[in-house]
Chain A
C-alpha cells in the first residue's frame, strides 16, 4: 500500500469527496464573512465550526453497521413523526407557526431530519418487501402512507419547500425501488391535474402569490417579486469574475434579502462571479456523482436505495435553491447545502453524506478488526 504510513482509518475515508466539500464549506465561510461586513461573527465562524463537528459525526455514522441502520429505520421514523406533531402543538400554543424545537445549543427542525428519515424508512421497507410483490398494491400503499403522514404534517406548518423535499426524496426512492413505470406516469398525470386545484385551494395566500410572482417578477417589484429581482441583479451584476471579495453592493446594502441563508448563492455570485458559481456547481457535481457511484456499487438492495435516496435529497436542495435564486423556480424557503448558514440544514446534509459514506464502507471487502 502506498499510503501505508497513513493510519488506515484516515486513509479509508473518501477524501476525493471530503476535500472538495471542505473547500466548498470554507468558500461558503468566506462568503458569509463578507456578508457579515468582514466579520466572522455571527455567521462565518459558526458555519465552518459546525461543518467540522458534523463531519466528525458523518465519519462516525459511516462506521455504523448496516443492521443498526435497518434497526432504527422504523422507530426513528416514528419518533420524527411524533416530534413533528409536537412542533405543531407547541406552535399552536405559542401562537403562530413554529418549525423547530429548541435544544439549547441549536434549534432542531424535525422536518429537516425527516428528509433522510423518509429515505431510510422506505429503503428499509422495500428491502423487507418480498421481491415478487413489487408490482402489487403492497409495494405502493404502505410507502404512500409513510410519506403522507410527515408530508401532511410539514404542509400544516406550513412549509411547502420541506414538504416538497420530503416527497421528492421518497418518490425517487420508490422509483429506484422498481415500482412499475405506469404508477409514475399515472401519478404524473394525476399531479398535473391536481396541481392547479391545489394551487387554488390548498396553498396559502402568500405561497400562491410567490408562485404568481415567480411567473412575472416585474409585476410586483417591491413585494414578493423583490426577492427574485434583487437576486438576479446580484448574480447578473457579478459578471464573469465578480465584483471582488467584500465588494458586493447588493448584499452589503441590504438589497438582497436573506443574503446569508436562502440567497447565499447570489451573495457569492455577486462577489465571485460566474467563476465562483461554476466552482460551486463543480463541487456539487463531484459529490453527487460520487454518491450515485456508491449507490451503483452498493452490495445490496437496502444500501443501494439508501445511498441513492440520500443523493437525491442533497440534489433536491441544490436544484431548487439554485433555480430559485436564478429566477427559474418560485421562492420557497430551501437553503443551499454547505453554503447557507443554518445548523439544521448542515446537519441533514452531513447525515446524508455520512450515510453514503457508510454505504461506501459496506461495499468494500470486510477487513479484520475494528479499524
Chain B
C-alpha cells in the first residue's frame, strides 16, 4: 500500500523535517555527552590529572650520592671519589641516535672501538637505562657538548663524582668495582636512583657486598622542565648524603707492593697479622684495573682479559685451589708431636721407601740419610713423612689440617670461596666408595693427591702455627679486636716446629735465598712444589707454562716472636723457587720499605714497567691490532657468567686415584735459578700461548 503512494514534494519536505529533527537531537545528544565527559575529566578526575600534570611539570632529578670510601688500616683510601665531568645518553630520548653519536664522536674525540662499545650498549640497553659515553672529561670537551645541547636531545652532560681506585689493579679483586645498574638490578630494586645517569652500584667484591653501607642517600634537584628535558627554572636542591666509609685491615702500601712484586707471574700473596688475624694484604695477580672496569668494560679490554691464560678475572686467593705440596709438612710434623712422636725419632732415607712390594720415592732420589723431624722439615724429606704418617694414621693428620684451617671456609665478605679438600678415610669412602689406601696417606702427607687448598687457608695455617692461636682472617678493621683463643698446642712443640722452619730459610734448608735482609729479624718458612701434570707429560720445571709445577711458600717472621705470616702461591711457577723470593721481599717491606722497593724497582726494569705501565702497553698493542674489530664486550650479566666460570673451583677428581704421586723436586739451597729470568720466560710463554686459561689440574695419580 505504502509503496503505491506517489512520492510528492510535501512528503519529502515532511520527511526532511522529521529527519532534521532527529539530526538535531543527535547533535544535542553529542553535545551533552561532550559536556559530561568534560565534567568527568575536569571535576571528577581532577585530582588524578592534577597530579599527573604536576609530575610532568616538575622534574625531580636525582643527584647520585658520593660513595663511601674504602680505607686501609692507616686511613688511606683504597677507593675514593673524584670530581669529574661526564656525558651520558638516554636511549629513549634520542631522536636520531646515529647523528647524535656522530656529533659526540667528533666533539669528544672518541676512538672507533669506543664508538663500537657505545653502539653495542645502545642496542642492548633498555630505553630508560642511561649509557655512559665518556667520563673523566676535561672542561673543554665537556663545555663543547654542553653548548650544543639544544641539538642533542637525550644527551646529558653533568659534573659529578666517579669512583677512583688510587692503586688500580692492586685492589681489583680486593675491593671489586662499580658499574651502572643492570636491567635486572632495576627490576629487583625499583629505585629511580638506579637509572640516574652517573650512578653506579657495586658489581663485585667489597663494593658489591657493602653496597648498602657505601651507597649513601641521593640528593635531588627539582626543576621545571619541558617535555624534551630543557630546564625552564630551578625549584630547589637537596644535598646528597655520602655513603659511610669502610675501613679494612689491609695495609695499602703492602697490598700495592705485593701486587707489583708478583710481576709477570700468575699468583697470590696473603699476609696476616699473627696477633689479631688481620689480613694485611690479599693480592691476586694479574688483575683487572677497577678504574677502567668502572667506566664500563670495553671490547679491547675484554679481549685482553679473556685471552690471558693467567686468568686475571679469578680471585685466586679465595677461588684458586692448589695441591699445597710440601707446605703441609710442618703441620703434619706438629700432628706427629701432638700424637706423641718424639722429634728425635728418625728414619733412614735412601731416596725411597718400600711398602709391601711398592717403592714410594723421595724428591731427592739420592736420599737424605738419617732423618729426624727437623731435618724432615728443612730438607723436606718425603720418606720421613711416609714412614711416620703410616704409624700415626691419616685421621690424626686430617684433624690437625682442619684445626689449622685447611678445608675451612672463613667468614669473609666475598661470595663463593673455594674451600678445597682435606681427605681422610671417611671422606674417601663417602666420595668414592673406596677404602683408604697407603698411597693415599703418602700423597696427603706431602700435600698431593686429593688435597686442595686455597692461598688464604695456607696463610691461616701459617699464622696459626706461628702464633699458636686460633686466628681468624679479618678484613674489616676493628679497633678492639677480640683476643683470639689458644690453639692448645704445647709451646715446646711450636718452638720445635718454628726452629725447623727457621732452618729452612736460615740454615741447611731448601730456601736459603729467602733470608730477610734485615738485621735481627729471621724469617721461618716452608717451601712447597705441587705437581700439575705427571712426569710422563713434563718434568714440571720447563716446557709448556701450563704444565709447570705450582710454587708455594708459607712463612712467618720474626721466627722467634711471630708478628706476620705470609703465604705465596705462584701458579705454574716451576716450583717453590718462584714463590719464596716474592715472600721474602713482601716480608722485607713490612720491616724496611726502602730496601724492598729498591729490589722491586730493579725487577720492574726487567719486566717493562710497573703494573699500570704494562697494562697500558698491552692495551695499546691490542688497540692497534684489533681496534673496533674486537668482538663486542659482554654486558654485565654475560661478564659475570664468564667470571663465575673462571672462578669455578677445581672439581674433585671423579675417579679415585690409584697410586702415589711422585714428589716434585724441592730446590736446593745452591742450585736455585735466579727468579727474575724464569719469570720473564713465563711472561713470554704466556703471551705466545693462545689457549684460554683453564683451572689448574690436580696431580694425576700415576
Contacts and interface: CB of A to CB of B under 8 A. Distances in A.
Interface of A: 131-132, 134-135, 172, 175-178, 222, 230, 232-240, 249-250, 253-255, 269-270, 273-274, 277-278, 281, 284-285, 288-289, 292, 295-296, 301, 304-305, 308, 312, 315, 319, 322-323, 326-328
B416 interface: no
- In the A-B complex, the 6 residue pairs with the closest CB atoms: A236-B49, A237-B53, A249-B57, A274-B42, A254-B227, A236-B41
A253 B31 contact: no
A305 B8 CA distance: 17
B46 interface: yes
Nearest to B37: A326
A242 to B, nearest CB: 9
B19 A135 contact: no
Given A176-B16, A250-B56, A274 B227 contact: no
B82 interface: no
Contact of B50 (A135, A177, A178, A237): A237
Interface in B223-271: 224-228, 232
Contacts of A322: 34
A253 B224 contact: yes
A250 B42 contact: no
B31 A284 contact: yes
B35 A281 contact: yes
B598 interface: no
Given A233-B56, A237-B49, A308-B23, A254 B228 contact: yes
A131 B12 CA distance: 8
A176 B23 contact: yes
Given A172-B23, A292-B20, A269 B38 contact: yes
Interface string B90-101: 001000000000
B42 A249 contact: no
B9 interface: yes
B339 to A, nearest CB: 76
Given A172-B23, A233-B49, A239 B42 contact: yes
Interface in B24-44: 24, 27-28, 30-31, 33-35, 37-39, 41-43
Given A222-B92, A295-B20, A322-B34, A178 B12 contact: yes
Interface of B: 3, 6-9, 11-13, 15-17, 19-20, 23-24, 27-28, 30-31, 33-35, 37-39, 41-43, 45-46, 48-50, 52-54, 56-57, 92, 224-228, 232
Nearest to B50: A237
B46 A237 contact: yes
A255 B34 contact: no
Given A277-B38, A281-B35, 14 more contacts: A132-B6, A178-B15, A236-B49, A236-B53, A237-B50, A239-B50, A250-B53, A269-B38, A269-B42, A274-B42, A281-B34, A295-B20, A301-B13, A326-B38
A176 B19 CA distance: 6
Contacts of A253: 56-57, 224-227, 232
A236 B51 CA distance: 10
A315 B224 CA distance: 39
A285 B232 CA distance: 40
Q: Which of B6, B31, B57 has the most CB of A within 10 A?
A: B31
Contacts of B225: 253
A275 to B, nearest CB: 9
A250 B12 CA distance: 51
A308 B16 CA distance: 10
A308 B46 CA distance: 37
Contacts of B50: 236-237, 239
A22 B7 CA distance: 43
A134 B8 CA distance: 10
Nearest to B34: A322
A252 B169 CA distance: 51
A134 B17 CA distance: 16
B7 A326 contact: no
B49 A249 contact: no
A234 B226 CA distance: 14
Q: Say what secondary structure dominates the interface of chain B.
A: helix
Q: Which of A176, A278, A328 has the most CB of B within 10 A?
A: A176
Contacts of B9: 131, 301
Contacts of B226: 253-255
B20 A296 contact: yes
Contact of B56 (A222, A249, A285): A249
A295 B403 CA distance: 107
Contacts of A235: 38, 41-42, 49
A131 B15 CA distance: 13
Contacts of B13: 301, 304
A139 to B, nearest CB: 10
B41 A301 contact: no
A86 B33 CA distance: 40
A301 B11 CA distance: 12
A288 B49 contact: no
Contacts of B46: 236-237, 239-240
11 contacts: A135-B3, A177-B12, A236-B46, A237-B54, A273-B42, A274-B43, A278-B35, A281-B38, A288-B27, A296-B17, A319-B34
A322 to B, nearest CB: 5
A328 B38 contact: no
Contacts of B11: 178
A19 B558 CA distance: 107
Contacts of A288: 27
Given A176-B20, A301-B12, A134 B38 contact: no
Contact of A328 (B7, B37, B39, B92): B37
Contact of B27 (A233, A250, A305, A315): A315
B141 to A, nearest CB: 29
A300 to B, nearest CB: 9
A236 B92 CA distance: 27
Nearest to B30: A319
A249 B27 CA distance: 33
Contacts of B30: 315, 319
Contacts of A255: 56, 226-227
A134 B24 contact: no
A323 B226 CA distance: 26
A55 to B, nearest CB: 23
Contacts of B42: 235-236, 238-240, 269, 273-274, 277
A236 B27 contact: no
B34 A326 contact: yes
Contacts of A250: 53, 56-57
Contact of B19 (A175, A240, A285, A301): A175
Contacts of A134: 7, 12
A134 B5 CA distance: 13
Contacts of A232: 41, 49
B52 to A, nearest CB: 5
Q: Which of B6, B17, B49 has the most CB of A within 10 A?
A: B49
A292 B52 CA distance: 41
A330 B20 CA distance: 27
A134 B33 CA distance: 34
A60 to B, nearest CB: 27
Given A235-B49, A253-B57, A254-B226, A323 B41 contact: no
A327 B34 CA distance: 11
A285 B20 contact: no
Nearest to B48: A236
Contacts of B54: 237
A115 B34 CA distance: 23
B38 A312 contact: no
A327 B48 CA distance: 16
Contacts of A312: 23
Contacts of A295: 20
Contact of B7 (A131, A281, A304): A131
A218 B54 CA distance: 18
A301 B20 CA distance: 13
B12 A281 contact: no
